[in-house]
Structure 1
Amino acid sequence: MPADGLLREPKGFALRYFFGSYGIFLALFAPGLGGLSVRVQALVGLEQAPTVLGLVLGSGAFFALITQPLVGRLSDRTTARTGMRKPWIIAGAVGTFLGILVITVAPNITMLIVGWAMAQLFANFAQAALTATVADQVPEARRGRVSGIIGTTAPLGILTGALGLTLLPNDILRMGIPAAIGLIACLMFAFLLKDRVLTTKPDRFDFREFFASFVFNPAKHRNLGWAWLSKLMIMFGYASTVTYLILFLATSFGITDIGKQLQFNLLATVVLVSANVVFAILGGWWSDKIQNRRLFVAVGAVMIAIGVLMFPVAPALGTTWGLGLILVAEAFIGAGAGFFLSVDMALSIAVLPNAEEVGKDLGVLNIANTLPQTLSPLIAGVVIIPLGDTLFGAGYSLWFIVAAAVALVGAMMVYRIKGVR
């Protein structure tokens, strides 16, 4: 990897990365945000939907766990003439598209699980390689701004995914069109990328090295360990409301009409994303100015927790005021996530222990971003919500309280990272 002082960011790289990253998030969030909720309700009914949705989304957790560090390590060793990252981005984009097509036509829960697992597997191919290009191409002084721009891609993917769910007439179009846009965006990024080329043949890749791709030693690399845990917990809190909003509306507010569910989901998403984009751009610029990353992570996590805690209060206020409070909560969550995402990439790169294994180490860190998006609904649907319903008759309330507490712990953990402001 070139020394940071020798790096010159290619013209237009940030914009191309924006569209590539946005594309893969759009493809994933169209089903993850509401498409799968609608499909599950249609296949098993509302009563079983929380548990089944958790199982479907959780099926991707295993692939999110292993794929990013593995592909990161393999891309660090790829000697293709086209570059180290490009082949993985292309394969990931194509595989994600095919997996989502399976979801749109799945006749039963088994095929729904197969499609989502396939989409998660290949999306993590693309994300691992995409992330590594930032360290390859962008100097340290620019990473806060670039990270802030990149931090807007996930919320914009959520917004346009929700818009498609509301406006398009059937599941094939609701999820197929975002998947096609994601495919095109990633392919354009890959084909225009002046990729880093590995000119020296790497050492033989044995099984011990293969399994080392999945792990790091937190005792040896403490900063990486604390960054991983902090990120995991904050993203766990953030993911707690995104996936279950539609089912929460049906269960707690009696909104069972699919059209009305999707309409409010879109409105909430507009609020979430608007706050997210504004605070992501502000946070990236501000953190570069004061050269402090941890502050924005901590403040962002606290704002997420405050927003999540508004959800269990909302049903007691009635439909009008309760739904209004949810919109306020979405603003807090969006702003907090914007602050967090604005410095996430810059902080991640700052704690990397080995400049020659950027792809692998960023892949390990990216697990903490992607795993909560599937693990959070699995824990909610299979454990917390049923337990809360049984013990207190308030499964969703218990879930949101637990998720907020986890995000706050993540805020505290970021200050265990040493040598980074």
Structure 2
Amino acid sequence: MVGIVVGPVLARLGGGTTGGYTLLAGAVLLSSLIFAFTTKDLPAAAKPGKDTSVEKPPVDPQQRRDFWWGFAGRAALFLAYSMISGYTLYMLEDYVGLSDHDAEAKLAAVTAVLGISTIIVMPISGVLADRSGRLKPFVIASSLIFVPGFAAMLVSPTFGGLLAGNALCGIAFGSYMAVDQALMTRILPSMDDAGRDLGVLNIAAAGPQVAAPFVASLIISALGGYRSLFATGIVLAVLGALAIKPIRSVR
């Protein structure tokens, strides 16, 4: 989230493509070295071998259904978010109508609003969810907050519209990220296979981010421009919220 804010600033400080990428590469290298030399890496305690003679209890079919509903909800939300956040620069140029220079200058402001609102809301949402003892309402509400965010960009093709829309999307994404992972860990079919299943759930987040640029380009070129992209984002956000509702193993 901090990278969303800092990245465009570093790119502009570089004074061009080569300088910008050099600064970004230097930031990655520096942060990696800081992590490597300041983080204690304690070896895990050895675990006793599994008793393969004992059969695993069968997985509850409802728990398995909950798992795949959670997968679908996460995939829909990440696809919607990634499609629209990844095209911000082009929206400023082609949708708002700014020149290349002005669009690059405004990009830092838009990404800062998105990143800062996300960072501020994450701990607040997490604390509220912990106190309420409920996760589903927060995930559903977070998903639906994307709707007015995308709608603001849909109805207002202006710099202000993009700012307002990204502020709402940042609130939605921050709230979502604070509670979604907790929800996902509680719908795993079996704790014996928790690592594998969490990896599968990670595909629901990483896969849409990879596919988003391609899917967004198809929507923009084939369905009538950025308004179609925002409308698609609204539909995906609603579907993401609806996918959480059938989950029964978590409140």
1:312 is paired with a residue of what secondary structure? Answer: helix
Question: Does residue 1:375 correspond to 2:211, yes or no?
Answer: yes
- Output the amino acid matched with 1:378: F
- Output the amino acid matched with 2:42: K
How far does residue 305 in structure 1 lie from its aligned partner after superposition? 1.9
Q: Could you say which residue in structure 2 is the equivalent of 1:385?
A: 220
Deviation string, structure 1 residues 253-302 (Cα, Å, up to 9, x no partner): 33232x32222111011111221112111001111111111111111111
Name the CA distance, whole Å, in 1 between partners of 2:50 and 2:33: 27
Deviation string, structure 1 residues 21-49 (Cα, Å, up to 9, x no partner): xxxxxxxxxxxxxxxxxxxxxxxxxxxxx
2:188 is paired with a residue of what secondary structure? Answer: coil
Higher relative contact order (CA 8 A, sep 6+): 2
Structure 1 pair 360–235 and aligned structure 2 pair: CA distance change class (3 A)? same
TM-score normalised according to structure 2 size: 0.86
Name the CA distance, whole Å, in 2 between partners of 1:296 and 1:418: 15
The one of 144, 158, 166 equivalent to 1:330 is 166
The one of 160, 177, 191 equivalent to 1:341 is 177
How far does residue 333 in structure 1 lie from its aligned partner after superposition? 0.3
Name the CA distance, whole Å, in 2 between partners of 1:177 and 1:192: 27
- Output the amino acid matched with 2:40: L
Q: Could you say which residue in structure 2 is the equivalent of 1:236?
A: 79
How far does residue 229 in structure 1 lie from its aligned partner after superposition? 0.5
How far does residue 249 in structure 1 lie from its aligned partner after superposition? 1.6
Matches within 5 A, 1:218-367: 221-257=64-100, 259-315=101-157, 322-367=158-203
The RMSD of aligned alpha carbons is 2.4
- Identity, % of aligned pairs? 26
Q: Could you say which residue in structure 2 is the equivalent of 1:88?
A: none
How far does residue 197 in structure 1 lie from its aligned partner after superposition? 5.0
How far does residue 192 in structure 1 lie from its aligned partner after superposition? 1.7
Structure 1 pair 170–328 and aligned structure 2 pair: CA distance change class (3 A)? same
User: 2:125, 2:178 within 8 Å by CA — same for their partners in 1?
Assistant: yes
User: 1:236, 1:407 within 8 Å by CA — same for their partners in 2?
Assistant: no
Q: Could you say which residue in structure 2 is the equivalent of 1:411?
A: 241
- Output the amino acid matched with 2:228: L
Name the CA distance, whole Å, in 1 between partners of 2:141 and 2:175: 7
Structure 1 pair 290–305 and aligned structure 2 pair: CA distance change class (3 A)? same
Structure 1 pair 197–170 and aligned structure 2 pair: CA distance change class (3 A)? farther
Name the CA distance, whole Å, in 1 between partners of 2:42 and 2:49: 20
1:194 is paired with a residue of what secondary structure? Answer: coil
User: 2:63, 2:188 within 8 Å by CA — same for their partners in 1?
Assistant: no
User: 1:308, 1:333 within 8 Å by CA — same for their partners in 2?
Assistant: yes
- Output the amino acid matched with 2:236: V
Bigger drift between 267-276 and 194-203 goes to 194-203
Name the CA distance, whole Å, in 2 between partners of 1:358 and 1:171: 42
Name the CA distance, whole Å, in 1 between partners of 2:65 and 2:23: 42
Q: Could you say which residue in structure 1 is the equivalent of 2:9?
A: 163
2:249 is paired with a residue of what secondary structure? Answer: coil
Name the CA distance, whole Å, in 2 between partners of 1:196 and 1:172: 42
Q: Could you say which residue in structure 2 is the equivalent of 1:194?
A: 42
How far does residue 365 in structure 1 lie from its aligned partner after superposition? 0.7
Name the CA distance, whole Å, in 2 between partners of 1:178 and 1:229: 33
User: 1:234, 1:410 within 8 Å by CA — same for their partners in 2?
Assistant: yes
Structure 1 pair 414–200 and aligned structure 2 pair: CA distance change class (3 A)? same
Structure 1 pair 184–360 and aligned structure 2 pair: CA distance change class (3 A)? farther
Name the CA distance, whole Å, in 2 between partners of 1:196 and 1:239: 35
TM-score normalised according to structure 1 size: 0.53
- Output the amino acid matched with 2:186: A
Deviation string, structure 1 residues 2-33 (Cα, Å, up to 9, x no partner): xxxxxxxxxxxxxxxxxxxxxxxxxxxxxxxx
